[in-house]
Amino acid sequence: MRIVLISGIVFVHVPYDPATSPYAANYGGFDWLRVFLGDSLFRVGVPCLSVISGYLLFRRGLDSFDYRKTLTTKARTVLLPFLIWNFAFLLSVFIAQSNEMSTGYLPDVAHANLREWLNLAFALDGMPINLPLYFLRDLLLCIVLSPVLAWLIRRYPAQTLAVLLAYVVLPFPSGVFLKKSILFGFSAGIYLSLHDVDIRRFDRFAWPIVVALIICTLLLSLLLYRYGPNFPIWLEMLRGLTALFGIAGSWAVSALLVRTRAGASLSRGSGLSFWIFCTHFPLLILLWMIWNRTGVGYYPAFYCTVPFIVIASLAFAYSLSRRWLPNFTALLTGSRTGPARDATAPARAVRSEPSPQQRT
């Protein structure tokens, strides 16, 4: 059900300027709703995607883990799409800004020095030009560290996860990671695989967990709206904890959705979800530029329509690309164009139940 998480991430990245910031409180309750969706509820997407990646990487156990083969595979499925999508957007921004377009919407690429160019291209110590792709950058770093993380989690699971939890929640420097929650989520996924945790046993508590998630994110959004945009340290810590609780909440949501006909259909769209993830930010920026030129000043109209236009447009573009350019589409999506496969589902899985791979 990655598609659900990534659709939520689209709302996180809807652009705005200082005058239309939700913390400017120009639109009353609508601004609080934006904080709830963009800064609270849908922020659980990245940690949960990280857990999925760590879980699937070690689903066959540590003894059968082939580090060299993993690096080779991930270079094709993660690194190459990152480079293609990020470089394409970087070049587009450079061309636009060289022609005095998009100035002020994105970092100044046309006048950037070499270090700034390298950072925007490769996310060496800051965000890439295609902002959401920081997740792929940090995921690659987790994959490089995966043998060390797996050994620590297999030998010292509680201690390792406790240290990583403190790293995420407490105000420690991020270090080499751009988003600390990705490291914890990835490690939590490794723990679930290596310690053979039957994650289906939580499904019977799906509704209580979902309700708890909504309550927590609602309360968090009220605090964020009250203190934002400059949050005190204790609120940042609470924000980090809520995002991590969202891992369980997201799994519970998938337990409910995947049993529906629509949810089962969405669970087979791994290529589409990756396509939307890599392409939604440039399209959002483009539509934001167009919107500002129309002179329509009512921001709620933009926020309520553009995310749905983006998702629908990208789904349509993916369908056409997959039909007319299947090999190129496979390259752009890291070979994720096929339906979800269940061949690697745990042996304990019940046939009448959706497998973890369907839900992830």
Amino acid identity at 114 = L
What does the pLDDT read at residue 313?
96
Confidence of residue 339 (pLDDT cuts 50, 70, 90): very low
Could you tell me what percent of the chain has a pLDDT over 90?
A: 64
Range of the domain at 159: 2-359
- Average pLDDT, integer, range 112-133: 93
The better pLDDT of the pair 317, 336 is held by 317
Cα gap 198→203, rounded to integer Å: 10
Q: Which two tokens stand for residue 233?
A: 């340290």
pLDDT at 64 over 90: no
What does the pLDDT read at residue 338?
52
Confidence of residue 344 (pLDDT cuts 50, 70, 90): very low
The better pLDDT of the pair 353, 219 is held by 219
| 162-166, 194-198, 271-275 — most confident range | 162-166
The better pLDDT of the pair 355, 344 is held by 355
Nearest CA among 260, 22, 51 for reference residue 164: 51
Nearest CA among 289, 87, 49, 311 for reference residue 186: 49
What does the pLDDT read at residue 93?
94
Amino acid identity at 234 = W
- Average pLDDT, integer, range 300-313: 95
pLDDT at 186 over 80: yes
Number of domains the chain contains: 1
What does the pLDDT read at residue 345?
38
Cα gap 356→52, rounded to integer Å: 9
pLDDT at 354 over 60: no
The better pLDDT of the pair 232, 198 is held by 232
Q: Mean pLDDT, the chain, as a whole number?
A: 88
pLDDT at 214 over 70: yes
Confidence of residue 100 (pLDDT cuts 50, 70, 90): confident
Confidence of residue 359 (pLDDT cuts 50, 70, 90): very low
Q: Which two tokens stand for residue 194?
A: 């290596």
Confidence of residue 102 (pLDDT cuts 50, 70, 90): confident
DSSP state of 108: -
Quick check: bond before 107 cis, omega within 30? no
